[in-house]
Amino acid sequence: MSDIFSLESETHVLSGFLKYPRKFFEHSRVSEECFFHETHRTVYSVLRQFHDHRKEIDLIELGDRCRKCGVKSHGKIDISKYLIELSKTLVTEDGTDYFVAELLRFKYIRDVERKGIELQKIAQNSREKDISEVIDAIDDVSSRNISNFFSPQEVPKRVGEDIDWIEERGENPIEFVGYETPFPRYNAYYGGLRDGEIYLFAARGGMGKSSLINGMCVDTAAKYNIPCLILDTEMKRQTNQARLVAGATAAKLSAIETGKWRRRKEWVEPVREAIEKIKNLQYYHMYTGNASAQEFKGIILQWVNSVVGKGNPCIIGLDYFKPDVGANRQAHISETAALGEKIDMMSDLIGEIKCPLVTAVQSNRTHQFENRADNRIYDTTMIADSDRLQRTAAMVGIWTPKTPEDIIEDENLADADDAQERLDQINRARTGQLREGESVEGFRYGTHKLIIPKARHQGDEAPGSHDIVRRPTNADGSNWRFESNYLNFDVDSFTIREKGDLRAWVREHQRRAALTNENAEDGQVL
């Protein structure tokens, strides 16, 4: 048994704690379980009681308390005499640190051995169990963190202790923190994508959120030539492939899926070029259906270990976040709680992997709430299910196609029928069903808008993530509403492009707008 504990380490650690009381607090990872010998466990426990009550260590009282705990002797030596021997053991402060590391190492070895026994029992009792139960049991054993015993000790630091990096960065400035997406205004306002952060976008079903996630993840990864993984809860592999090709060419989605693209001469070469381009992408896609949080974790870890390599850069997209239906039914927990637990697990995971995660969640059916009469404000209350989603994410965005009112304003249309025709065109573009010769290039301010009510990080031109801007609703400025700052996008056959932003809109409408408040200006941040 001597290979799983060290009597020398245990005695020297206790001696160091008796001689140098502050060492007791410096090594907060040490606990009773770190000591293999029962006597040493008791001595440490009683010693901790002294420190908890901020009492000076008295060897006689320490011995009395050990006796009350049932420890009268250590071998043939009286416990009081043994404590005196411990106090006389030759150990320095640095030596105490060394023996603490040894103590933790042996604790680690014993934990590994115990885990091996547990896993062996699971294997022996798993013949009649469902595979998911076996995986969950193994993961439960494996997820109990024991590696922290061996990791560097983290202690609170004065906030100014290591602040010199700002001066150093000033001497050697960088162009960008994180990854620049294909959307310049988004990058300028909100700083692109950063490692270890979650970027959450809310949308109703069928509103083009998959185009946004793919455009942000796949195109960004391609720019940096790094791997990208999309976990798709809705779209099968071949459907995704067909949409990628349709988005890169003028060919209709139905023509790609049926093979009829070969009948149109002008489509053949572009389709083949798109296929070859996609083949060369480091883009990994997997249909996951209603996968559980544990299954997502397993898939991501396997992909990182086998494809990316530990510590190497990558980008992950999850389309989209939804509760574990099966887990809810078995555990009788709410969907809200399940969704919160899911994002917490994913947050810990990407923090460990050090990569950005771009994902989406269902928004509430009503895309607005009334802040005051007839004044529409988009905010995080639109996001369904869980506040934890919003708290955990570095960014929360609202993704929505333009409404008929938006089209009237943006395109300066006076006729509601014209606006409806434009809206129908947006829907055709979003589903890859544009008519012959039809495109969305004529839209001045895009088919979709992205509203950012929460942004943890900002770019050089950040407008203020919570700014509420006054907008007229009629071309003559006879009515108005309040809205958050937003960016405009075109979605055309699953291809997403950034369009003119709110500032451009303000400049366009500022002179024409008649304001109720004569002292205010259109586009003014309120």
pLDDT for the residue numbered 142: 57
Which range, of 117-126, 380-389, 409-418, 462-471, averages the lowest pLDDT?
Answer: 462-471
Q: Is 365 exposed, middle or buried (0-12, 13-18, 19+ CB in 10 A)?
A: exposed
Question: Do the beta carbons of residue 59 and residue 87 sit within 8 Å?
Answer: yes
Which range, of 19-28, 37-46, 98-107, 469-478, averages the lowest pLDDT?
Answer: 469-478
Distance, in Å, from the CA atom of 505 to the CA atom of 444, rounded to the nearest integer, reads 9
pLDDT for the residue numbered 195: 92
Which range, of 28-37, 181-190, 356-365, averages the lowest pLDDT?
Answer: 356-365
pLDDT for the residue numbered 226: 92
pLDDT for the residue numbered 174: 82
Q: Please report which confidence band the pLDDT of residue 517 belongs to, taking 50, 70 and 90 as the band edges.
A: very low
pLDDT for the residue numbered 57: 79
Q: Please report which confidence band the pLDDT of residue 151 belongs to, taking 50, 70 and 90 as the band edges.
A: very low
pLDDT for the residue numbered 330: 43
Is the pLDDT at 440 greater than 50, yes or no? yes
For residue 341, the Cα-to-chain-centroid distance in whole angstroms is 12
pTM score of the predicted model: 0.65
pLDDT for the residue numbered 117: 81
pLDDT for the residue numbered 156: 72
Distance, in Å, from the CA atom of 335 to the CA atom of 384, rounded to the nearest integer, reads 10
Question: Rounded to 5 degrees, what are φ and ψ at 478?
Answer: -75, -15
Distance, in Å, from the CA atom of 405 to the CA atom of 432, rounded to the nearest integer, reads 23
Domains and CATH numbers, the chain: 2-149 (1.10.860.10), 184-233+288-509 (3.40.50.300)
Which range, of 69-78, 96-105, 327-336, averages the lowest pLDDT?
Answer: 327-336
Sheet holding 283-287, edge to edge: 283-287, 228-232, 315-321, 357-362, 198-203, 395-401, 448-455, 486-492, 495-498
Q: Which residue has the higher pLDDT, 308 or 248?
A: 308
Residue type, 161: E
pLDDT for the residue numbered 314: 93
Q: Which residue has the higher pLDDT, 525 or 484?
A: 484
Q: Give the chain's mean pLDDT.
A: 75
Segments of 207-356 assigned E as strands: 228-232, 283-287, 315-321
Q: Which residue has the higher pLDDT, 75 or 49?
A: 49
Question: Do the beta carbons of residue 319 and residue 234 sit within 8 Å?
Answer: yes
pLDDT for the residue numbered 369: 40
| Element holding 261 (H helix, E strand) | none
Query: What does the block give as tokens for 250?
Result: 């003028």
| Element holding 508 (H helix, E strand) | helix 502-509
pLDDT for the residue numbered 315: 94
Which residue stretches of 34-163 are H helix? Answer: 38-52, 59-68, 79-88, 93-124, 131-143
Distance, in Å, from the CA atom of 363 to the CA atom of 181, rounded to the nearest integer, reads 24
Write out pLDDT tens, residues 237-274: 888 888 888 877 878 888 888 888 888 888 888 889 88
Is the pLDDT at 279 greater than 80, yes or no? yes
Write out pLDDT tens, residues 370-411: 333 334 445 555 665 556 677 788 888 888 888 777 777 777
